[in-house]
Chains A and B, each alone.
Chain A
Amino acid sequence: MSLLTLPKPDDAILARRDEIVRQLKKLVPAATLIADEEGRRTFETDALTAYRCLPLAVVLPQSTEEVSKVLRYCHDNKIKVVPRGAGTSLCGGALPLEDAIVLGVSRMTRVLQIDETNRFARVEAGITNIAVSNAAAVHGFFYAPDPSSQLACTVAGNIAMNSGGAHCLKYGVTTNNLLALRVVLMTGEVVDIGGDYLDSPGYDFLGLITGSEGQFAVVTEATVRLLKSPEGARPMLIGFGSSEAAGACVAGIIAAGIIPQAIEFMDKPAIHVCENFAGAGYPLDVEALLIVEVAGADDEIDLLLEKLTDVAERYAPSVVRVSRNAAESELIWKGRKAAFGAMGQISDYYCMDGVIPLSRLPEALHRIGAICRSHRFRVANIFHAGDGNLHPLILYDANDRGELERAERCGAEILKLCVELGGCLTGEHGVGIEKRGLMPVQFSASDLAQQMRVKTAFDPDWLLNPAKVFPLEEGRDGQ
């Protein structure tokens, strides 16, 4: 058995399933409604695959109006709604409930406008993250947030979770790159927030809805800032005999006034797995590896990489390899980009997402190692070092339910450690169902009460994406 439970479904709603499906059929075109069991099965989980739950029905609307109709109906009939983008959530953020319908925006994928002068793109929110950048690339622009699931994940999901990515040290996360949203409230009311200009008037609903894990509103359209692509970018690879030295080097880089596009960190187990898988030429005798990438024109990159080399030399690196061209850059990134796939080849893994203050990195890695050993797991660490966002991968056997429960306990201890060190439970994956029980570790009762009041302001009946973010016994979901 696993540790997480879902609230008991509402029998009255379950009993009305046929009628609900009939009513939904009247509201939306037949092709947008999935009621058969096979079809619903596709939506029973997200990327936290240990948890599954078959929803009442699935609706995949093609317009804001259809979203509005469905929400109004559900609101009036007190039916819970689980919004869904591409279902790539690692925290169970899109996990259905038995007595809820899934409302997916994945068929709303159009690019509505690209404005080069004012530098924004207006898109339907079900578009994939990468498709926004691809559409912008034609004009020499890009959309900065780049979560590693960017091939599949949707802008709607990115907004719900305030997604980051490898480049957010320099360019910020989703909330820093939005200009406007069109959202549908649980009542079905459509609200436009912001515009094609900076800073929306009044309270910052744009910022508040971003990262609200689909619990405030369903986002159907977004206007995102576009940035001009840099002339080029190249990484360097630096290997160290200890993670302390690697951590000190990251601090040294920032102290030198350099904000690289990305600073990625891998520990020894991760280096070995990636190297075996990708043959990127990573040194196998180091304890920690940094990949640091800077952008600009070729000359500028050369100079920055020289500066970075000077900084790195102060921390006695055992390997320094600077990319001189695209082929070498690709090789350096090859292992890192393959990391999660490579890890999946050797073992099932449970990916954590805690954040720590960078100055506590050596202590954090040391204690994470000890926690995992105490639970008899191996762990590999791959993460965005510039912002302290750790991704410890706990290697376990998914076919053994006992192992899953143990991995969850191990993960929870790691996240508690992150909070103890001054950090937080989640840097970019979100709370979802996975970490809701840990919220009191980071927040006091009055902190949580204030958050729940805001939830209630948007959705008084707690119908939208229920049983997530807050401990069941704290929120209204358990009632």
Chain B
Amino acid sequence: MTGNLRLGFHAPHAADEIADLVAEAAHAKIPIEVRGRGSKHEVGRPVQAGSVVSTENLVGVSLYEPTELVLSAAAGTPIAEIEAMLDEYGQQLAFEPVDLGPVLGSPPGEGSIGGIFATNLSGSRRILIGAARDHLLGVECVNGWGEPFKSGGRVMKNVTGYDLCKAVAGSWGTLAVITNVTMKVLPRAQETRTLLCFGLPDQTAIEAMCLCHGTPYEVSGAVHLEAPLAARLSNANISGAGAAVTAIRVENFPHSVRYRFGRLKDRLAAYSLSLELDDANSRSFWEEVRTLRMFAGSDRPLWRISTAPSRATKLVAVIARTLDIRVAYDWSGGLIWLDTTLTSDAGAVEIRRAIAEFGGHATLIRAEHTTRASLDVFQPLDLGLAALTRKLKAAFDPAGILNPGHMYPGL
């Protein structure tokens, strides 16, 4: 051992240096905090480790073939850089990665591409096009022994061997350090338009949104923001309305957008449509949803809950009985973002209880360090899944040195 792993911050410029660091830590059984560019560092249970291994210096796009819809980048490549490159060719990361920067008190656009896949955070378009993990074609990683391994590849269809991309995606750096990612990209629509309804009660809004998703018009976003949250958007027509807003997005070639928009308006005739957003206004509206502008600039605990749309308002109603909350529904009600007043448990007791009753899972996205250290940030697992989780962790990181305790206590 060369003794490279001093306490402190390490940001090697090459994947094999990361492998060396991890191997050394594994040998000495020294826990390390695994990080990308650190934009989501304040999410999850705090990692107790003296050393940080960051991928922020593993940067650069090594492959971009627009006609094959594929891009490879080193894990620390800023996501903003990738999005700018895609934009030049009229393409995008279709799963619309959520940018947590603003709700965590940082500017938007600071995350890394590896971090996006490590946390599997997908935005509004997820409901049509799939999650971040669905767009991850290949990974190169370093496991908890410090051994490099890869899974998947650079082609769109690949069932060769187990799909370890899925294991790594959403594992928050607890299974392996991602050093390189290859992803599927998609064309950006030529036109985007958004239908808005104001003042719909939550349940009515969810019915309207589900109705839209139940059409063949490929609705690519359906959100409903309660009035106090709608008031925080920058579009004066929305923030000034003093009412909840429900937004339905259609993206396509202009001709199809016109046709589909018309059909959706017919379907929604009963819901008092109030406003339409043109292409530019639509894009800025959905960008604000993607960066969670409605929850920015606050330190109220913020939760992200996935459930079935048809049970969403009942779940929220149970929580609202005891907590003061503000709610935004995405994925036509299947994704609930809510913030609540500062309490010692960030509302976890009520929220977990509601989840147990209605089904789904909840993640505490924003909370004080001490709060995150003392409760379940991620959805607690039932016994069977918890046992499998421990076994999978051990299959990648037997010494438990990668982000220990970041997702679950003792893991």
Given contacts A208-B162, A211-B163, A231-B216, contact A196 B359 (CB under 8 A): yes
Question: B256 an interface residue at 8 Å Cβ cutoff?
Answer: yes
Please name 16 pairs of A and B residues whose Cβ atoms are closer than 8 Å in the assembled complex, sorted by A.
A117-B214, A175-B166, A197-B361, A198-B306, A204-B166, A207-B165, A251-B67, A252-B67, A296-B256, A358-B68, A424-B158, A443-B161, A447-B150, A453-B396, A469-B161, A469-B162
Query: Nearest residue in B to A253 (C-beta to C-beta)?
Result: B67
Q: Closest CB-CB distance, B345 to chain A, in whole Å? A: 19
Q: When the two chains form their complex, are residues A355 and B155 in contact, meaning their CB atoms are under 8 A apart?
A: yes
User: What A residues does B307 contact at CB under 8 A?
Assistant: 197
Question: A229 an interface residue at 8 Å Cβ cutoff?
Answer: yes
Q: When the two chains form their complex, are residues B216 and A387 in contact, meaning their CB atoms are under 8 A apart?
A: no
- Residues of chain B touching chain A, judged by Cβ–Cβ distance below 8 Å, are 65-70, 90, 120, 122, 126-127, 130-131, 133-134, 143, 147-151, 153-167, 169-171, 175, 186-190, 210, 213-216, 253, 255-256, 259, 306-310, 331, 334-335, 359-361, 363, 378-379, 381-382, 384-385, 388-389, 391-392, 394-396, 407-408
Q: Closest CB-CB distance, A434 to chain B, in whole Å? A: 12
Q: When the two chains form their complex, are residues B395 and A456 in contact, meaning their CB atoms are under 8 A apart?
A: yes
Q: When the two chains form their complex, are residues B149 and A211 in contact, meaning their CB atoms are under 8 A apart?
A: no
Cα A394 to Cα B225 in complex, Å, equals 58
Known: A162-B159, A453-B395. 19 other contacts (CB 8 A): A117-B210, A162-B163, A172-B130, A195-B308, A198-B131, A199-B361, A202-B381, A203-B389, A203-B392, A207-B166, A208-B162, A212-B163, A254-B69, A427-B157, A430-B159, A447-B151, A450-B395, A451-B161, A451-B164
1/0 contact string of A50-82 vs chain B (CB within 8 Å): 000000000000000000000000000000000
Q: Closest CB-CB distance, A351 to chain B, in whole Å? A: 15
Question: A297 an interface residue at 8 Å Cβ cutoff?
Answer: yes
User: What A residues does B154 contact at CB under 8 A?
Assistant: 357, 422-423
Identify the interface centre among B147, B164, B392: most chain A CB within 10 Å of its CB: B392
Q: When the two chains form their complex, are residues B127 and A198 in contact, meaning their CB atoms are under 8 A apart?
A: yes
The listed residue (A175, A206, A358, A444) touching B67 by CB distance below 8 A is A358
**A270-302 contacts to B (CB < 8 Å):** 296-297, 299-300
Question: A242 an interface residue at 8 Å Cβ cutoff?
Answer: no
Q: When the two chains form their complex, are residues A197 and B306 in contact, meaning their CB atoms are under 8 A apart?
A: yes
Query: Nearest residue in B to A174 (C-beta to C-beta)?
Result: B159
Q: Closest CB-CB distance, B292 to chain A, in whole Å? A: 17
User: Size range of the interface on A?
Assistant: 35 or more
1/0 contact string of A211-237 vs chain B (CB within 8 Å): 110000000000000001111000000
Question: A157 an interface residue at 8 Å Cβ cutoff?
Answer: no
Q: When the two chains form their complex, are residues B155 and A422 in contact, meaning their CB atoms are under 8 A apart?
A: yes
**A431-462 contacts to B (CB < 8 Å):** 431, 435, 439, 442-444, 446-451, 453-458
Question: A86 an interface residue at 8 Å Cβ cutoff?
Answer: no
User: What B residues does A422 contact at CB under 8 A?
Assistant: 153-155
User: What B residues does A359 contact at CB under 8 A?
Assistant: 65, 67-68
